[in-house]
Structure 1
């Protein structure tokens, strides 16, 4: 052993830094020596002194392995953020990320995995860089370096390459009125555009870098070049739709004015912001600035009615200016609000095709990639505006949203949380045991849909819902279920009305009105309340069952509580020992990515006497 007088000193901070550097909660003397450029004997002596002097470091001899040292207080390591980058795989793994780091990563990477131990894995994809909300490459580089803490040349080169790739083609309107596809170089036009575009999309070449595009083929050109890896910038000048005199009767917040400004400058885009951030109001600000006849598309009749009410309340437009087109009534006006399903039907579509719109608004734009909804993206309009709190899809087609409508425009969720415009949700996953062994055995022998339904409809969840309601007796609460039978049983057991797609429209509207008016504090709902429907002042959401691991549905249901006033509490129930555990974590991933803290705990209704102080929560950001 080396002389102690000649051995270097190891502080506790340096020890923690070494753990962070190796990315593990334990370290060997050999590994520490490599990190600090010491000899193994020096590292071993220094570690022994830390352990002997009771500095909160312990050692253990592991059978068939070297001696390892680890912190006595494990919490000290878990409280520190650690960012580990795998540049060749374009992956970033972050332990205990701060809200700042998550917000920065969300601008150029996709969250692909998360665990209950606060570990997050991000992947930097080409489409993430294409849609990065930055005006120039230098700004994007700064964001990447701030998130990762240092420079990674190969990863930064990939980001730069994809940034430039997204700026190789653009569409613009020629002074004589036809549409032109312009490439940055002749090689791009000859080797990419001409090779990948379908026959008939190009009418004739204009120069080595320009070509005349068939007007009816614009969407095809954008889609095919996107699929080839080259998103197209759409700079067309479309002067469509009769003028519309409209004034907004309220003041926009600063970030909403920013949304409107960015949209008007580009003429297309998707407003991406948390529920309650005022995307509808911002859309009305866009309507005022565009000032032309407008078509608004929404998923259902309840949303159509809400749009009509908002327009009449917040703008100078009158009832004569606003028309509805859906299964109940079919009228066309200066501002027409229609359902996607009706507007996409062949027998109605011609009416919408023939009219030239100044603005088309796609509410809940995450539906657009589906085969039925995307038919409406061929409608002619000067400007296209999408709205979505959750532009994520289970089929990985979310990039189609931006291809078909326009690039994302949004504000960091954390900034809205901090400013108090939107409540940051408190999310807890509660693991519920089986009500009886027979149910568990039935689950074990089932598979596929039946297996998912058995876990989702675990009768023990009735007691847990009741327990949560007892914990929060004054809270305005929405209880969500995905299965109608489960909803009927919950409603009967808890004496709650159940609102589903089978509920007559008039009764559904009456129950929603009673909830809005404060005449009813608890409402049991199916997927009909997942998105868009305005149910203000809800403070508590209990998700008794969900659509598999849908991140979008989890964020939408949590979003029902994310209004400026009050608390935003979300409980996600999952049957212990089933695939629902993974579903619940996946459902809350989008919220975690945006800054919400997610805890995990055992169900309160089944806690034993020793658990009187409550469960020990495992928290993940």
Structure 2
């Protein structure tokens, strides 16, 4: 008992609900003898951490020496009936652990560093929690919560069991069978909710012959009903290919591969720079069957081809690309989602027996234009993404169509030094002049948002940031005029949807090799571009986009070595402030710390307003309509058609 910590005393004070404790009360809280409690309290008092006072009717009471420490420490309050957790001033450790089994709903408070956070545990959070068993999940909950909540733990156990109530298997005669754990589930859930064309014929009270073409719909429907399906079909394994990995996997990458091979399907969720592509190639070598790799752009297809050559022994002649630029079907084929989803091309992919399908940037899969490609099935399905969140709230489709999430929490990679944790700053700028502010104040709706995003002060602030920065930098914009103005100020190149494909590739290559140390990019830089050495990212506009877009842009600096810095510029006093916090949501959920700085109108470099917020996320109000950046190109003066679609 003598090794009692001050934190344990604080816990007892909060649990007791009063600021003073006797040794007897403290002993009862910790289930220790009063003598042991008194000895431990005396030791803390000798260290100056506690004070004691004699009371007439109670021999001695104890209280903290520094009341401010008690008032400013993290508090976790659980509402078990609602399955909600409110955390005041959460630590990075707590945020990372909560992100494994709970969904961040909202924040409260306005002052930096004082916000509280509301989490909710949904059924899908339990189904997709990255634990080997429900016991590990419950142990993690107990390590965060102030006490045990038996009712909540029972609910979590029941949800965990629901994830194994339906199963898809291949009959010995080759057709697919849906099996339910009970006849009640088959009759009252499957038969009632599935479309008529999904079931071909009943086999028994718990089994049914299902339509092979309706598998994706069956999985999605039962998932929405609260019963994620275990897919144990004997799917195609593909003709064998000769592929060995020439790069040694890090320990966590090997654990990703091992977990994937055990489950045979899943989505690897890891930060940019953590080596998801190399881990996927490790899985490819282990599976050893013909492989289809689906990507959102031609640029990314070319990068995958280079990575395969760099990290494996695969014969280059066995690797092909299939998109608007070229159409090669090879034992390892890299195709764009758009092409693979088109009826006239998909037949060719259906006819091939793929042993592994890799869905890169897997957050695209739920979008209608990409969903068709997800109907392609193989024994092994691996999704890769750093940001599975989608504004349309259908990210669960990713796990339904591909598999459950795999991987480790980001904070473990930061702590181990495998990925540089970004220093994220939300910098709020004044208007450049009264005329610009007055124009914004008199504008309405969309025009007001564009004016805030295009605040001329951002051009000068970007120039100052890059002047103080050593290393390569990316500047993200959503507006052509703004991008050209910043590029002129920096004497840098501007890459947008209007940049010809061949010039775009040359500019990216010159940035990678160090010939250029700065690029201004529009949405074409949000994903699918390998920019491994960008130490600084400046987000000058685009704060009306999605959380995923914000995390993608910040993620451009998250690499294994060196300093990683992200500065998000927002116009002070406008809705951009809320959007800035909202865009950092995914990073904040993963435990990344975010700072806020308010730049004074007369003191552009005022840094004393900076404060650490821990998890600076605030949901924007409902009065501004935002289009999902997965479905629409919102908030731009430019339209960037897919080069795959355009070339068709």
- Where on the TM-score scale, by shorter chain, does this alignment land: which range? 0.7 to 0.9
1:15 CA drift (Å): 10
1:593 CA drift (Å): 1.5
Aligned ranges 1:230-249 → 2 under 5 Å? 230-249=227-246
1:504 corresponds to which of 476, 489, 500: 500
Judge conservation of contact 2:320–2:332 (CA < 8 Å) in 1: yes
1:493 CA drift (Å): 2.4
1:322 CA drift (Å): 0.6
Judge conservation of contact 1:78–1:96 (CA < 8 Å) in 2: no
1:221 corresponds to which of 213, 218, 221: 218
Question: 2:599 aligns to what?
Answer: 603
Question: 2:396 aligns to what?
Answer: 399
Aligned ranges 1:446-457 → 2 under 5 Å? 446-457=443-454
The CA distance in 1 between the partners of 2:152 and 2:603, in whole Å, is 48
Taking a change above 3 Å as real, the CA distance of residues 507 and 78 of structure 1, as seen in their structure-2 partners, is: farther
The DSSP-based 3-state class of the residue aligned with 1:438 is helix
1:203 CA drift (Å): 1.8
State TM-score, norm by structure 2. 0.83
Question: 2:351 aligns to what?
Answer: 354
Question: 1:541 aligns to what?
Answer: 537
1:28 CA drift (Å): 10
Is it true that 1:80 corresponds to 2:73 in the alignment?
yes
The DSSP-based 3-state class of the residue aligned with 1:381 is coil
The CA distance in 2 between the partners of 1:178 and 1:618, in whole Å, is 58
Is it true that 1:573 corresponds to 2:566 in the alignment?
no
Question: 1:92 aligns to what?
Answer: 85
The CA distance in 1 between the partners of 2:209 and 2:529, in whole Å, is 44
After superposition, the C-alpha distances for 1:90-118 in whole angstroms (9 at most, x for unaligned) are 21111222232222211110112235434
State TM-score, norm by structure 1. 0.87
The CA distance in 2 between the partners of 1:75 and 1:302, in whole Å, is 54
The DSSP-based 3-state class of the residue aligned with 2:73 is coil
Is it true that 1:111 corresponds to 2:104 in the alignment?
yes
Is the deviation greater in 442-451 or in 325-334? Answer: 442-451
Taking a change above 3 Å as real, the CA distance of residues 293 and 616 of structure 1, as seen in their structure-2 partners, is: closer
1:620 corresponds to which of 611, 614, 618: 614
After superposition, the C-alpha distances for 1:424-469 in whole angstroms (9 at most, x for unaligned) are 1111100011112222222223233222211111111111112211
1:286 corresponds to which of 268, 283, 287: 283
The CA distance in 2 between the partners of 1:574 and 1:20, in whole Å, is 39
1:186 CA drift (Å): 1.1
Judge conservation of contact 2:463–2:489 (CA < 8 Å) in 1: no
Judge conservation of contact 1:270–1:385 (CA < 8 Å) in 2: yes
1:211 corresponds to which of 191, 203, 208: 208
The CA distance in 1 between the partners of 2:392 and 2:377, in whole Å, is 27
The DSSP-based 3-state class of the residue aligned with 1:548 is coil
Question: 2:619 aligns to what?
Answer: none
Question: 1:297 aligns to what?
Answer: 294
Taking a change above 3 Å as real, the CA distance of residues 489 and 97 of structure 1, as seen in their structure-2 partners, is: same
Aligned ranges 1:360-375 → 2 under 5 Å? 360-375=357-372
The DSSP-based 3-state class of the residue aligned with 2:197 is coil
Question: 2:380 aligns to what?
Answer: 383
Taking a change above 3 Å as real, the CA distance of residues 456 and 19 of structure 1, as seen in their structure-2 partners, is: farther
The CA distance in 1 between the partners of 2:139 and 2:280, in whole Å, is 31
Question: 1:64 aligns to what?
Answer: none
The CA distance in 2 between the partners of 1:160 and 1:382, in whole Å, is 29
Is the deviation greater in 352-361 or in 300-309? Answer: 352-361
After superposition, the C-alpha distances for 1:564-590 in whole angstroms (9 at most, x for unaligned) are 111011111111111111111011121
1:366 CA drift (Å): 0.3
Judge conservation of contact 1:515–1:521 (CA < 8 Å) in 2: yes
The CA distance in 2 between the partners of 1:263 and 1:608, in whole Å, is 50
Taking a change above 3 Å as real, the CA distance of residues 464 and 333 of structure 1, as seen in their structure-2 partners, is: same
**Count of aligned pairs:** 575
The CA distance in 2 between the partners of 1:605 and 1:495, in whole Å, is 26
Question: 2:467 aligns to what?
Answer: 470
Judge conservation of contact 1:203–1:212 (CA < 8 Å) in 2: yes
Is the deviation greater in 392-401 or in 376-385? Answer: 376-385
1:137 CA drift (Å): 1.9
The DSSP-based 3-state class of the residue aligned with 1:372 is helix
Aligned ranges 1:477-556 → 2 under 5 Å? 477-548=473-544, 550-556=546-552
The CA distance in 2 between the partners of 1:220 and 1:14, in whole Å, is 51
1:75 CA drift (Å): 5.6
1:158 CA drift (Å): 2.4
After superposition, the C-alpha distances for 1:479-501 in whole angstroms (9 at most, x for unaligned) are 11122221112112222211111
Aligned ranges 1:14-33 → 2 under 5 Å? 20=14
After superposition, the C-alpha distances for 1:201-230 in whole angstroms (9 at most, x for unaligned) are 122222221111122221121111112221
Aligned ranges 1:405-416 → 2 under 5 Å? 405-416=402-413
The CA distance in 2 between the partners of 1:21 and 1:441, in whole Å, is 53
The DSSP-based 3-state class of the residue aligned with 2:240 is coil
Question: 1:179 aligns to what?
Answer: 176
The CA distance in 2 between the partners of 1:370 and 1:527, in whole Å, is 18
Judge conservation of contact 1:114–1:589 (CA < 8 Å) in 2: no
Judge conservation of contact 2:547–2:585 (CA < 8 Å) in 1: yes
Question: 1:161 aligns to what?
Answer: 158
Judge conservation of contact 1:467–1:605 (CA < 8 Å) in 2: no
Is the deviation greater in 539-548 or in 277-286? Answer: 539-548
The DSSP-based 3-state class of the residue aligned with 2:534 is coil
Question: 1:3 aligns to what?
Answer: none
Question: 1:41 aligns to what?
Answer: none
Judge conservation of contact 2:427–2:568 (CA < 8 Å) in 1: yes
1:614 CA drift (Å): 3.8
Judge conservation of contact 1:464–1:605 (CA < 8 Å) in 2: no
Judge conservation of contact 1:21–1:35 (CA < 8 Å) in 2: no
Taking a change above 3 Å as real, the CA distance of residues 380 and 593 of structure 1, as seen in their structure-2 partners, is: closer
Taking a change above 3 Å as real, the CA distance of residues 592 and 145 of structure 1, as seen in their structure-2 partners, is: same
The CA distance in 1 between the partners of 2:401 and 2:389, in whole Å, is 15
Is the deviation greater in 297-306 or in 252-261? Answer: 252-261
Question: 1:52 aligns to what?
Answer: none
1:422 CA drift (Å): 0.4
Question: 1:271 aligns to what?
Answer: 268
Judge conservation of contact 1:244–1:293 (CA < 8 Å) in 2: yes
1:134 CA drift (Å): 1.9
Is the deviation greater in 293-302 or in 485-494? Answer: 485-494
Taking a change above 3 Å as real, the CA distance of residues 289 and 28 of structure 1, as seen in their structure-2 partners, is: closer
